[in-house]
Amino acid sequence: MAAPQAIATRRPRLAHAMLQSAPLLLSLAMLAASIVVYCAIYLASQHRLPGGFELTSTVNNTMPLAMAAVGQSFVVLTRGIDLSVGGIIDLTNAVAAVAIHDSPASMVGWSLAILAIGALLGLVNGLLVAVGRLQPILVTLATLSIFQGIAIRVLPQPGGAIPDAYGAVLANVDAPISLIYVALLVLGWRVFRRTRLGVSIFAIGNDEPAAAANGIDVRRTKIAAYVLSGTFSAAAGLFLAAAATAGDATTGNSYTLTSIVAIVLGGVSLFGGRGSAVGGIAGAFVTSMIVNILFFSHIDPLYQNFYEGLFLVLAVTAAAGIGHYFRRRA
Amino acid sequence: MSLAESAGAGQPVPAIEGVGISRAFGGVRAVQDASFAALAGEVHALVGENGAGKSTLIKILGGRIRPDAGQVRVRGAAVLLNSPHDAHRLGAWTVFQELTLLPAMTVAENLLLGREPRGRLGLIDRRAMERDGEAMLAGLGIHHIDPLALVQDLPLAERQIVEIVRAITQDPSILFLDEPTSSLMEREVAWLFGQIRRLRAAGTAIVFTSHRWNEIVSIADRITVCRGGTNVGTFTEIGEDEAVTLMTGRRVGSQYPPRPPAPAGETALAVRNLSGEGVHDVSLELRKGEILGIGGLAGHGHRELFFMLFGAQQPTGGEIRLDGKPVRIASPRAAVRTGSGIALVPEDRKTEGLLLAMSVRDNMSLTILSRIASVGVIRQATEQRLCRGIMEMLKVRAAGLASPVGALSGGNQQKVLLGRWLLADCRTLLLYDVTRGVDAATKHEIYELMTRLAGEGRSIMFYSSDAEELAHQAHRVLVLREGRIAAELDGTGLTAEDIVAAAMRDRAA
Amino acid sequence: MTNNVSRRGLLQAGGAGLLAAGFTTFTLPAKAAGKKPYRIALSNSYIGNKWRIEMENLFKAGLLMEPYKSDVKGSWFNSGNDVSKQSQQMSNLIAERVDAIIINAASPTGLNGIIRQATSRGILVVSFDNVVTAPTALKVNTNQYKFGQMGAEWVAEKIGGKGNVIMVTGVAGTFVDADRNKGAEDVWKKHPGITVVNKFTGMWDSATAERNAAAVLPSLPQIDGIWCQGGTDGVLKAFLAAKRPLPPTAGEGENGFRKFMTGYMGQKVQGISIGQPPFLVLISLELARSVLDGSRPKGDVEIPFPFVTTDTVKVGETVFPDLPDSFFADFTDSGDNATVKICVEAALNGTACAGRLNVVLPKA
> What subunits touch chain C, counting only 3 or more CB pairs under 8 A?
A
Rounded Cα gap, residues C91 and C97, in angstroms: 10
Rounded Cα gap, residues C236 and C248, in angstroms: 10
C101 and C126, same domain (yes or no):
yes
Shortest Cα distance, chain A CAs vs residue B114, angstroms: 8
E strands in chain A: none
Is C356 inside any structural domain? no
List phi, psi (to 5°) of B142. Answer: -110, 115
Examine the pLDDT at C256 and tell me if it is beyond 80.
yes
Which percentage of chain C shows pLDDT scores above 90? 53
Chain A, 150-189: which have a CB under 8 Å from a chain C CB? 152, 156-160, 167, 171, 173
List phi, psi (to 5°) of C27. Answer: -110, 35
What DSSP state is assigned to residue C170? -
> C339, C337, C22, C297: which is closest to C138 by C-alpha?
C297
Model pLDDT for residues C87-121, shown as the tens digit of each residue: 999 999 999 999 999 999 988 899 999 999 999 99
C239 and C185, same domain (yes or no):
yes
pTM over 0.90: no
Using 50, 70 and 90 to split pLDDT, how confident is the model at C228? very high
Shortest Cα distance, chain B CAs vs residue A281, angstroms: 22
Last residue of a domain, one of C254, C274, C294: C274
Is C190 inside any structural domain? yes
Examine the pLDDT at C31 and tell me if it is beyond 70.
no
First to last CA, chain A: 30
Rounded Cα gap, residues C229 and C205, in angstroms: 9
Mean pLDDT taken over chain C? 85
> C143, C150, C154, C204: which is closest to C179 by C-alpha?
C143
> B464, B208, B472: which is closest to B347 by C-alpha?
B464
Is C136 inside any structural domain? yes
C71 and C122, same domain (yes or no):
yes
The complex scores an ipTM of 0.87
C238 and C260, same domain (yes or no):
yes
Is C324 inside any structural domain? no
The pLDDT value recorded for residue B406 is 78
List phi, psi (to 5°) of C187. Answer: -70, -45
> B81, B101, B84, B102: which is closest to B93 by C-alpha?
B84
The pLDDT value recorded for residue C237 is 93
Structural domain that includes position C234: 144-274
At a CB cut-off of 8 Å and minimum separation 6, what does A203 contact? A210, A211, A214, A216, A221, A273, B102, B105, B113
Work out the burial of residue B309: count CB atoms within 10 Å of its CB; fewer than 13 is exposed, 13-18 middle, 19 or more buried.
buried
Contact between B246 and B235 under an 8 Å Cβ cutoff? The reply is no
Work out the burial of residue B223: count CB atoms within 10 Å of its CB; fewer than 13 is exposed, 13-18 middle, 19 or more buried.
buried
Examine the pLDDT at C45 and tell me if it is beyond 60.
yes
Residue ranges in chain B whose pLDDT is less than 50: 1-9, 251-252, 507-509
**Which domains, ranges and CATH numbers included, belong to chain A?**
30-47+59-329 (1.10.3470)
The pLDDT value recorded for residue B295 is 86
C229 and C255, same domain (yes or no):
yes
Q: Give me the total of CB pairs closer than 8 Å, taking one residue from chain A and one from chain B.
A: 110
Chain A, 188-247: which have a CB under 8 Å from a chain C CB? 240, 242-247
Q: Using only the alpha carbons of chain A, give its radius of gyration.
A: 21
Q: Do A203 and B102 touch (CB under 8 A)?
A: yes
C160 and C65, same domain (yes or no):
no
Q: Cis (ω within 30 of 0) for the bond into C37?
A: yes
The pLDDT value recorded for residue C5 is 40
Q: Do A158 and C87 touch (CB under 8 A)?
A: no
User: How far is CA C180 from its chain centroid?
Assistant: 13
**Total domains, chain C:** 2
Rounded Cα gap, residues B100 and B159, in angstroms: 9
Examine the pLDDT at C340 and tell me if it is beyond 70.
yes
The pLDDT value recorded for residue C22 is 35
The pLDDT value recorded for residue C121 is 92
Q: Do C75 and A304 touch (CB under 8 A)?
A: no
Q: Which of A46, A56, A178, A250 best tests the C interface by mutation, with the highest count of C CBs <10 A?
A: A250
Using 50, 70 and 90 to split pLDDT, how confident is the model at A20? confident
Per CB-CB distance under 8 Å, the chain A contacts of B316 are none
Using 50, 70 and 90 to split pLDDT, how confident is the model at C46? confident
> A278, A105, A201, C218: which is closest to B104 by C-alpha?
A201
DSSP B113-179: TTS--B-GGG-B-HHHHHHHHHHHHHHTT--SS-TTSBGGGS-HHHHHHHHHHHHHTT--SEEEEES
Model pLDDT for residues A287-309, shown as the tens digit of each residue: 999 989 999 988 887 788 888 88
The pLDDT value recorded for residue C122 is 93
Neighbouring-strand partners of residue B322: B269, B325
C18 and C77, same domain (yes or no):
yes
> C204, C191, C153: which is closest to C307 by C-alpha?
C153
> A32, A201, A62, A66: which is closest to A130 by C-alpha?
A201
Strand, coil or helix: what is B343? strand
C135 and C171, same domain (yes or no):
no
Is C319 inside any structural domain? no
The pLDDT value recorded for residue B352 is 61
The pLDDT value recorded for residue A330 is 55
E strands in B179-238: 205-209, 222-227, 230-235
**Averaged pLDDT for residues A208-234:** 92
Q: Which of A38, A46, A295, A311 best tests the C interface by mutation, with the highest count of C CBs <10 A?
A: A295
The pLDDT value recorded for residue A241 is 93
Examine the pLDDT at C332 and tell me if it is beyond 50.
yes
Q: Where residue C264 sits, what CATH number does that domain have?
A: 3.40.50.2300
Is C330 inside any structural domain? no
The pLDDT value recorded for residue C15 is 38
Examine the pLDDT at C188 and tell me if it is beyond 80.
yes
Q: Do A209 and B100 touch (CB under 8 A)?
A: yes
Rounded Cα gap, residues C166 and C217, in angstroms: 10
Per CB-CB distance under 8 Å, the chain B contacts of A209 are 100
DSSP A84-131: THHHHHHHHHHHHHHH--SSHHHHHHHHHHHHHHHHHHHHHHHIIIII
C169 and C237, same domain (yes or no):
yes
Q: Cis (ω within 30 of 0) for the bond into C277?
A: no
Q: Do chains A and C touch (3 or more CB pairs under 8 A)?
A: yes
Rounded Cα gap, residues B161 and B167, in angstroms: 10
Residue B187 sits at the chain A interface (C-beta within 8 Å): yes
C172 and C257, same domain (yes or no):
yes
Model pLDDT for residues A44-68, shown as the tens digit of each residue: 988 999 988 999 999 999 999 999 9
The pLDDT value recorded for residue B4 is 42
The pLDDT value recorded for residue A92 is 96
C288 and C244, same domain (yes or no):
no
Is C252 inside any structural domain? yes
Is C85 inside any structural domain? yes
Which region among A104-113, C26-35, C212-221, C284-293 has the lowest average model confidence (pLDDT)?
Answer: C26-35
Beta-sheet pairing, B377-378 with B373-374: antiparallel
C284 and C262, same domain (yes or no):
no
